[in-house]
Chain A
Amino acid sequence: MSTSEFDTNKVLEQEENLQPKMVTVEIAGKPHRVPAGITLMKALWYTGHEVIRGAGCLGGFCGACGTYYRTKDDPRVKTCLACSFAVEDGMSFSFAPPFPARKAIYRMEELKDPKQDLFTLYPEAPLCRNCNACTEACPQAIDVREGVWRAVFGDFKAVSEMFMNCVMCGLCAPVCIADIAPNFVALYASRAQGVYFTEKPKGLAERIQAIADGRYDEEWNRILSMTDEELEQASASAA
């Protein structure tokens, strides 16, 4: 392929500055200089911190890296996931310590009345005082307070949809003045929604039965006796 007609320099010429700017951040109370725009997690490594607890997926999905931070001149302490949040000049941050919230133990398949059982498993759930601190603490922008109420009122479907992106970081629990762990309440409601209030998918049981009955055996025999070339043809013609 010829690339001569193509002026790469023109396309690649960039005005952006390749040299990283440095900013000052405060990590657990100590100031450090780090490159602008890196994640809080990378700032920790950059400044020589060894990270064992506090890092998991590094992709914003596991909730291991819940972090408190504050930006310059703003008194408000906010939360974020350190692996997917960028540093800015004058920012101050620390990892959130693991919080010993209580998770109820239950046998999902043995519940009698899942919507009522919520109150036995999490008796504190209906005591929400609407302070909204949980919602403000959520780095995933979930309306956590609303979710707790929906669970209490038995709208498990809404809960399951609202909390689909909950990373279980647990940052909503330590702030709760009613000692609710909203994420555990939501997880319970969400699973119950799946187990008790969602219809069985059409065709799935039949497909499992068909496989058990050997309905594909003939095709298997044909396929498994083929050479690679024949298989290649078979898979190409199916495409």
Chain B
Amino acid sequence: MTLSALQDIVHQTREARRKQVLPKLTPSERDTLIKKFHPDCREQAYRPLKFGPNKGQLTVRELAALLEGDSPVPYDLPLDPDHTVDVLVIGGGGAGCAAALHAHKAGAKVLLATKLRLADSNSVMAQGGMQIAVAPDDSPVQHFLDTLKGGHFKNDRQLLKVMVEEGPSIAQWLLELGVLFDRDTDGSLHVKKGGGSTKPRLVTCSDYTGLEIMRVLKDEVLNRQIQLLEFCAAVELLTNRDGVCTGAVLRDLDNKRFIVVAAKAVILATGGIGRLHIQGFPTSNHYGATGDGLALAYRAGAPLVHIDTFQYHPTGAVYPEQLVGALVTEGIRSEGGHLVNARGERFVNELDTRDVVSSSIIRECEEGRGIRTPTGRMGVWLDTPLLELEHGAGTLEKHFPAMVRQYERYGIDIRKDPVLIYPTLHYQNGGVQIDVNAETAVPNLFVAGEASGGLHGRNRLMGNSLLDLMVFGKRAGLTAAARAASNRQGVLTLQHLRRFREEAKRYGVTEQITSPVILPAYTRTQDS
């Protein structure tokens, strides 16, 4: 059958599917499904870490290699600082911008270093929205419960309570900066319902929530004239003799030189890990999502949490080839879009949690009910035309203009035809362990955003990440600024690196990659 003949099955079964109600799975059904089909449960993809703060714990092989990898920095690198600041922020996504703005406002001298341009990040791509309990019939407590349930009750409750309680004031802060959230006719913030949530709680800016927030935050960082180093990647941290963080070594990607920064506090906001393509999955993440911050913090001695669990977003594009891995917003399912197999059947409650929905899509494909694309990939249908039927013609153009355009470029009209999707590597659930002020086990080293862990438990709920960034970016910024005001600049050494290298040798780890990897190696060489 051709793709278009397969598409016809979706069209033919639409009417019948509309009447169907699929129950959410019971906890035990969920567990069985996930154990059998979720990528997190493939044992051969995992191995224990050989040394370091998380020694003995299991993680995916790609991350294990990164964490056990060796630094590009030689031990005898001269450590005369090129810059001396109060607060060094590493990473220019949402968490980094929020941290820099708050630290700056608190009076600190801030330097923001980022690998690509400011705002080239995962944050800029967030489409679905940001969870904040603002609706009259909603509450922070309900937000807490939903998140806990989504995270399989493994969330750090203290972090989570802080996040949900500070949500509304974050909305206020963004509004004061000029972020234009969608409104209801009476002027209240419009909220949408996201997968795994009991209440509509997603505040949005059309389907450009991340773009709108990042445009504004970037503009504000520039307006505040915060010192900026673009195309400079952090490759190593610096510590004093007691292991307290005192700065970082960056690498200028234009001329490959090292830059030494002395700082009284360092905030890592380097984001996620998708571009390591764990288990060979395509990814929705930006070019620089290579988990650099995890490697840096690990070498400096900070333990990580939940490093064995990743989020595979249920709806990554698998066709056309140009879009492989790109995200198809969850909003389509929130608004009633069906997931449909090759036989024209629904197979999961589309609003179940991401891990459940992803696992069920993988099940359909592995059991032969998937659709094969011309390049040999497997996927299932997401019935987009259904939304036009349910909510009236023009719905997609009005609420999902980014997605309409995304497909239009390749001659696909999502208003008329369903699209093919398969789970894509989307989010790193865990990360560096932090306390409520975003500080790690290494004093004066803070981590905010996707690089941090604990809050989301074993599965992040849609829309919670944008809030996480803003809340803990702010807390990191404020605490770091306060720390800087009361502390002196510590000495710059690479002692932690010497310790790390000795440990590697002691545990017989000799074949190491150079870590962080900075950018994925996509450039084809002569023999590839």
Contacts and interface: CB of A to CB of B under 8 A. Distances in A.
Interface residues of A, number: 84
B75 interface: no
Contacts of A108: 177-178, 220, 223
B116 A56 contact: yes
Interface string B204-243: 0110101110011011101101000001000000000000
Interface string A217-239: 00110011000100110111011
Interface residues of B, number: 96
Contacts of A194: 175, 177-180, 216
B180 A198 contact: yes
B27 A201 contact: no
A61 B524 contact: no
A13 B372 CA distance: 8
Interface in B401-440: 401-402, 405-406, 409-410
A167 B120 CA distance: 11
Interface string A44-57: 01111111110111
A103 B148 contact: no
B134 A166 contact: no
Interface in B322-346: 322-323, 326-327, 342-343
A216 interface: yes
Interface stretch (A14-22, A145-153, A172-180): A14-22
Given A165-B405, A204-B171, A3 B210 contact: no
Given A11-B6, A11-B343, A56-B120, A38 B177 contact: no
A191 B219 contact: yes
B178 A232 contact: no
B140 A211 contact: yes
B187 interface: yes
B74 to A, nearest CB: 23
A95 B175 CA distance: 35
Contacts of A166: 215
B45 to A, nearest CB: 24
B356 interface: no
Given A59-B326, A62-B121, A84-B322, A14 B3 contact: yes
Interface in A32-83: 37-39, 42, 45-53, 55-62, 64
Nearest to A80: B409
A232 B286 contact: no
Given A38-B321, A105-B223, A202 B186 contact: yes
Contact of B145 (A20, A107, A165, A238): A238
A85 interface: yes
A236 B153 CA distance: 13
B376 A56 contact: no
Contacts of B171: 201, 204
Contact of A191 (B177, B225, B231, B326): B177
A49 B522 CA distance: 9
Contacts of B326: 59-60
B183 interface: yes
Interface string B193-208: 0000010000001101
A192 B219 CA distance: 12
A229 B429 CA distance: 23
A100 B250 CA distance: 25
A6 B187 contact: no
Interface in A161-212: 164-168, 187, 190-195, 198-205, 207-208, 211
Nearest to B220: A108
A106 interface: yes
Closest 8 CB pairs of A and B: A56-B120, A191-B178, A194-B178, A16-B374, A8-B368, A202-B188, A45-B522, A235-B145
Interface of B: 1-3, 6, 27, 116-117, 119-122, 124-125, 133-136, 139-142, 144-146, 148-149, 153, 157, 161, 165, 168-169, 171-172, 175-181, 183, 186-189, 198, 205-206, 208, 210-212, 215-216, 218-220, 222-223, 225, 231, 253-254, 284, 286-288, 320-323, 326-327, 342-343, 367-369, 371-372, 374-376, 401-402, 405-406, 409-410, 519, 522-526
Given A86-B320, A204-B189, A220-B161, 9 more contacts: A45-B522, A56-B287, A62-B124, A85-B322, A103-B219, A194-B216, A203-B188, A228-B153, A238-B198
18 contacts: A20-B375, A42-B522, A47-B524, A57-B120, A59-B284, A59-B327, A60-B326, A61-B211, A62-B125, A201-B188, A203-B136, A204-B189, A211-B140, A211-B168, A219-B139, A224-B161, A235-B145, A235-B149
Interface of A: 1, 3, 6, 8, 10-18, 20, 37-39, 42, 45-53, 55-62, 64, 84-86, 103, 105-109, 140-141, 160, 164-168, 187, 190-195, 198-205, 207-208, 211, 216, 219-220, 223-224, 228, 231-232, 234-236, 238-239
